[in-house]
Amino acid sequence: MAEIKERLLPPKPASAANLRELSYRPPISGRQPFQGIDVLGLKKRGQGLRSWIRVDTSGNSQVIEVDKFTMMRRCDLPARDLRLLDPLFVYPSTILGREKAIVVNLEQIRCIITADEVLLLNSLDSYVLQYVVELQRRLQAAGAGEVWQSEGELSRRRGGSRNIDNMFGTPSPDYLPFEFRALEVALESACTFLDSQAAELEIEAYPLLDELTSKISTLNLERVRRLKSRLVALTRRVQKVRDEIEQLMDDDGDMAEMYLTEKKSRMELSCYGDQSLLGYRSTDGALSLSAPVSPVSSPPESRRLEKSLSIARSRHESMRSSESGAETQSIEELEMLLEAYFVVIDSTLNKLTSLKEYIDDTEDFINIQLDNVRNQLIQFELLLTTATFVVAIFGVVAGIFGMNFEIPMFNEPNAFKWVLIITGVTGAVIFISFLWFFKHRRLMPL
């Protein structure tokens, strides 16, 4: 990992002069992406350069520094899409398909995927470095597979063995274009990161909840409260990734928009078709000028124009049919890719949902225990109140006999004893009557 950091994060950033050397190849239209932009001037005006990790289709990576406006022109993206990748702002997980790029913001993975390269924000995060390493490994493995496949084709054409024909005769059905491979690694990294966090939360949560059920204390309640807040935040993030994948799967137009390699191939094919059509017309005109005029052999001008239009129409129809077929195929490929990671992220969400239900059940159990203790305290208070009422009877009798007046009963030697006996029996009868009433009303289990 240290070697990867040294290779991807050099201590000295690239200068603005090297930026033009590391720029991308010009587009088909011939328009230079850096034309008219002074990087030094932008840096002086406060538009500083930002470090990006560039990974091409061969798996080669390099660190470049590009400013915001150059990146906007380079990938044909609006400013709001680049703002989603800004590490200074916190945005939910998003996958956006644009004309020439796919904007991916999945947890720590914030990148721009085009048909030729991946531009990833340079970061010291381990998951970002793992994403770069895994993407390079898969691209290099895919390149080696294509070499073996081409060798198998040559051996099959030269009359090779049947095993090589079966192994390399047909292209792999699992072939994915470059942008889908990069998107797959990003989805895998995000799903793995979220699943690992969910697993750590599960390992920490279940022993803590079991301890709380056995011993209810302020410290345990505070730990469970923090755990539940983390669980809610993680569930919200997992739910957002799941909703984003589900939204892409439900919209065929968005999935077709993300097929960048096919759109680039169609654009190149259309440009080649237009050039060939212009060459055919110029050749036809040159032949018509040099050939001798004959009313039998040379068709009139209207027939030549009609023939040219019919050729162009047939090419256009064939191009549209191939475009629709490729679009359907690309939608199926992307849909299967999204379905696989939708199942993974849905499994992670189910784990968090089960954990939340376990926490809710633990809270219900604790509330039941507290209610039970509260009921016991109420019952004890009721008994204590009844006993206080009985003892108050003795206070009333003592208050009556303590008045300053004389009666003949004070002269009797056994009068005090009989007063105590009668008062005690009366209090006991009253107390037993209260207990019977409480039992009859089911106010306490006696």
pLDDT on residue 226 = 94
pLDDT the model gives residue 296 = 42
CA 139 to the chain's CA centroid: 23
Indicate if the pLDDT at residue 12 is higher than 50.
no
**Amino acid at residue number 295:** P
Tokens coding 431: 């107390």
Residue scoring higher pLDDT (111 or 88)? 111
The pLDDT assigned to 311 comes to 57
Q: For residue 358, with 0-12 CB atoms within 10 Å meaning exposed, 13-18 middle and 19 or more buried, which class applies?
A: middle
> Which has the minimum average pLDDT: 2-6, 68-72, 96-100, 114-118?
2-6
- pLDDT on residue 167: 34
Average the pLDDT over 273-285 and give the result.
52
- CB distance 141 to 133 below 8 Å: no
Count of residues in the chain: 446
Give the pLDDT confidence score for residue 21 in this predicted structure.
Answer: 42
What sign has the CA pseudo-torsion 40, 41, 42, 43? positive
As a whole number of angstroms, the distance between CA 136 and CA 138 comes to: 6
pTM of the complete model: 0.66
Q: Are 85 and 50 in contact (CB under 8 A)?
A: no
Residue 23 pLDDT more than 50?
no
| Residue 259's pLDDT band (cuts 50, 70, 90) | confident
Report which of residues 25 and 131 the model is more confident about. 131
292-350 pLDDT tens trace: 444 444 445 555 555 555 555 555 555 554 555 545 555 788 889 999 999 999 999 99
Cα–Cα distance between 47 and 67 in angstroms, integer? 7
> Is residue 268 scored above 50 in pLDDT?
yes
- H or E segment and range at residue 105: strand 102-106
At residue 286, the pLDDT reads 44
pLDDT at residue 422 above 50? yes
Q: What gap in Å lies between CA 116 and CA 74, rounded to an integer?
A: 12
Q: How does the average pLDDT of the chain come out, rounded?
A: 75
Contact 23/34 with Cβ under 8 angstroms? yes
Stretch among 11-25, 92-106, 157-171, 397-411 having the lowest mean pLDDT: 157-171
Amino acid at 262: E
- Greater pLDDT, 212 or 444: 212
Tokens of 338: 């999204």
- Determine the average pLDDT of the residues in 13-29: 42
Instruction: Tell how far CA 390 is from the center of its chain.
Output: 69
From 40-44, 264-268, 352-356, the region with the lowest mean pLDDT:
40-44
**Sequence spans of domains, the chain:** 375-441
Please tell me the predicted confidence (pLDDT) of residue 85: 87
User: Given this model, what pLDDT does residue 6 score?
Assistant: 55
